[in-house]
Amino acid sequence: MEYNSKIIGRRHEQDLLTEYCETPKAELVAVYGRRRVGKTYLIKQFFDGKFDFSFTGSFETPRSTQLTLFKKELERYSGRKLLKPKDWYEAFSQLRDYLSSLKKDRIIVFIDELPWLDTPKSGFLSAFSFFWNNWASTIEGLKLFVCGSATTWMMSKFIGDKGGLHGRVNRQIYLRPFTLYETEHFLRNKKIDWDRYQIVEAYMTIGGIPYYLDMIEGNMSLNENIDHLFFEEGAALRAEYDFIFRSLFKNSKVYRNVVELLSEKRHGMTRMDIQKALGMEDGGLLTEVLENLCKCDFIRRYTAFGKKEHGQIFQLIDLFSLYHLQFVEKSNGQDSRFWSNMQDNPRRHVWQGYAFEQVCLHHVDQIKQRLGILGVLSNVCSWECKAFTDKDGNEYKGTQIDLVIDRRDETVNLCEAKFSVEPYAITEDYAERLNSRRETFRTVTGTRKSLHTTLITTYGIKQNKYSHVVQREVTMDDLFSAIP
């Protein structure tokens, strides 16, 4: 198919939208994902803004005001004067009357920020269900697209509704943040000619969120852009973190508490440890919060190598939140050039190392493609052990491996990420550490699989007498690969 040149990436999503539009039956399509990820842009650009009706909910706005705005939009599309509906049932009845008057083979309706319309005691969801079940779902060629940033609402109250909409949302599109490949394409389209090292640094700061990437200005350096977005007076993204949580989650304080706790625990925590640290009761609330944060791509759930499901660990992986909590929240707001002045600060270098590990976790498919195992069944996990002495008196140091690729072809890749401004030189001490880590892994796990020490670096490994300790190598350029 011919893709919309104004839409960067999102080819799979465009394929799905085309497929859904070409079916003869009525379709209810839910497009969801975290705030600022580009849901509205995708729908509006795909249809070139040509809708038979379109309406957007407003954040924390009373039902009466929302109904007034709905009436005005319906008047604009229909060209008729209407009475203000007294409730959402009447509003959807007016929409039905208007759509029934259209003599078209395909009718496109778009309702954006759907969760914001479901205000307390508004009756919105039941009215929407009645509209879809009793009329819209029977109209051939009617395509109703809905978007929502409040992923938890979309998943539990809409897509997973146990009432009138149960099983009615027959199409779903989950929009994820950009990969590095898409990020590079996006910046090139904005005439920003940064090298890949700078693009990775930008990604480590704001993630692959198109809305944030679009704020980058080509006439500034990366450091100047970060200062402008986060640290100058009135910086556009300084208050963004707070707004994200208020707009996504109703009980936002609990969600923030979990995220901020995990931001201090680099390798994550178990559910029980989180519960104890926050002083929460052993109930369903924490389970719901963790599940919703996973669905919104704020945290990941993983099981350490050789552990069962009850040993699951939760780790913060949202790069924007990590950066905000590490630097923006802790800054005093008085240095408008905070990030530029942190250029050689050890604290920044420590963050770079950890953030690059997170970038690698976001690009596991690209790593597997470079290793030639994209089609090999594998389990991606983590592993750690504490220092111990075996029965023969041999002492083993404690170690942590952030990325373990356990493959069906009897091979395990033990991956380590290194962020540097030049090819990485393996020293004698580091070579000894890598060998020791591999043997500790073999001893503790008892695995008989081949163990490949794998190094992921920015500019590759500098060849010297110690570089042979690495069996496989992945570079920053490999992370920019497009996955078929």
Pick the more confident residue, 72 or 381. 72
Tell me the average pLDDT across 89-104: 96
Tell me how far apart the alpha carbons of residues 417 and 310 are, in angstroms, rounded to a whole number. 28
**CATH number of the domain located at residue range(s) 178-362 in this protein:** 1.10.10
> With bands split at pLDDT 50, 70 and 90, how would you rate the model's confidence at 163?
low
Burial class of 144 by CB neighbour count within 10 A (0 to 12, 13 to 18, 19+): buried
Mean pLDDT in the chain? 91
Which range in 27-41, 300-314, 394-408 is most confidently predicted, on average pLDDT? 27-41
Assign 236 to helix, strand or coil. coil
What are the domain boundaries of the chain? 11-174, 178-362, 370-479
The answer to which of 90-99, 198-207, 310-319 has the lowest mean pLDDT is 310-319
The pTM for the full model equals 0.90
pLDDT of 310: 60
Q: What are the phi and psi torsion angles at 77 (to 5°)? A: -75, -40
Does residue 161 register a pLDDT over 70? no
pLDDT of 316: 93
The length of the chain, given as a count of residues:
484
- 173 - beta bridge partners? 31
pLDDT of 394: 79
Of 359, 402, 35, 361, nearest in space to 204 by CA: 359
Contacts of residues 89-95 at CB distance under 8 Å and 24 or more positions apart, as own/partner, are 89/123, 89/127, 89/130, 91/67, 91/127, 92/127, 92/128, 92/130, 92/131, 93/131, 95/53, 95/131
Of 280, 475, 301, nearest in space to 371 by CA: 475
> With bands split at pLDDT 50, 70 and 90, how would you rate the model's confidence at 154?
confident
> With bands split at pLDDT 50, 70 and 90, how would you rate the model's confidence at 106?
very high
**% residues pLDDT > 90 (the chain):** 72
Does residue 350 register a pLDDT over 80? yes
Tell me if 34 sits within 8 A of 248, measured CB to CB: yes
Tell me how far apart the alpha carbons of residues 186 and 192 are, in angstroms, rounded to a whole number. 9
**CATH number of the domain located at residue range(s) 11-174 in this protein:** 3.40.50.300
Tell me if 104 sits within 8 A of 140, measured CB to CB: no
pLDDT of 35: 85
CA distances from 389 to 96, 99, 393, 429 (A): 74, 75, 6, 21
Q: What is the DSSP letter of 19?
A: H
- Rounded to the nearest angstrom, the gap between the alpha carbon of residue 277 and the centroid of all alpha carbons in its chain is 26
CA distances from 219 to 194, 195, 338 (A): 11, 15, 19
Tell me the average pLDDT across 119-143: 94
pLDDT of 166: 53
Measured between its terminal Cα atoms, the distance across the chain in Å is 16
Q: What is the dihedral of CA 157, 161, 165, 170, to 10 degrees?
A: 100
- Rounded to the nearest angstrom, the gap between the alpha carbon of residue 455 and the centroid of all alpha carbons in its chain is 25
- 27 - beta bridge partners? 143
| Buried/exposed 363-381: b ≥16 CB within 10 Å, e otherwise | beebbbbbbebeeeebebb
Tell me how far apart the alpha carbons of residues 462 and 327 are, in angstroms, rounded to a whole number. 32
pLDDT of 140: 95
pLDDT of 304: 76
How many CB atoms are located within 10 Å of the residue 50 CB? Answer: 8
Does residue 129 register a pLDDT over 60? yes
Does residue 150 register a pLDDT over 90? no
pLDDT of 266: 82
Token pair, residue 447, equals: 């695995």
Q: What is the DSSP letter of 414?
A: E
Instruction: Indicate the fold that domain 370-479 takes in CATH.
Output: Trna Endonuclease; Chain: A, domain 1 (3.40.1350)
Tell me the average pLDDT across 266-285: 88
Does residue 167 register a pLDDT over 70? no
Does residue 264 register a pLDDT over 70? yes
- Rounded to the nearest angstrom, the gap between the alpha carbon of residue 199 and the centroid of all alpha carbons in its chain is 18
The residue ranges of DSSP E strands in 230-370, in sequence order, are: 269-270, 299-303, 312-316
Tell me the average pLDDT across 119-133: 93
Does residue 326 register a pLDDT over 60? yes
Q: Which residues touch 351 (CB under 8 Å, ≥6 apart)?
A: 323, 326, 327
Residue type, 68: T
Tell me how far apart the alpha carbons of residues 21 and 171 are, in angstroms, rounded to a whole number. 11
Does residue 355 register a pLDDT over 90? yes
Element (H, E) at 201: helix 196-206
pLDDT digits (tens, 9 = 90+) for 415-437: 999 999 999 999 999 999 999 99
**Site of tokens 């770079």:** 352
pLDDT of 239: 92
pLDDT digits (tens, 9 = 90+) for 206-240: 999 999 999 999 999 999 999 999 999 999 999 99
> With bands split at pLDDT 50, 70 and 90, how would you rate the model's confidence at 56?
very high
- Map 83-118 to HEC letters: CCCCCHHHHHHHHHHHHHCCCCCCEEEEEECHHHHC
pLDDT digits (tens, 9 = 90+) for 239-255: 999 988 888 887 889 99
Tell me the average pLDDT across 28-39: 91
CA atoms in the 13 A half-sphere facing the CB of 150: 25
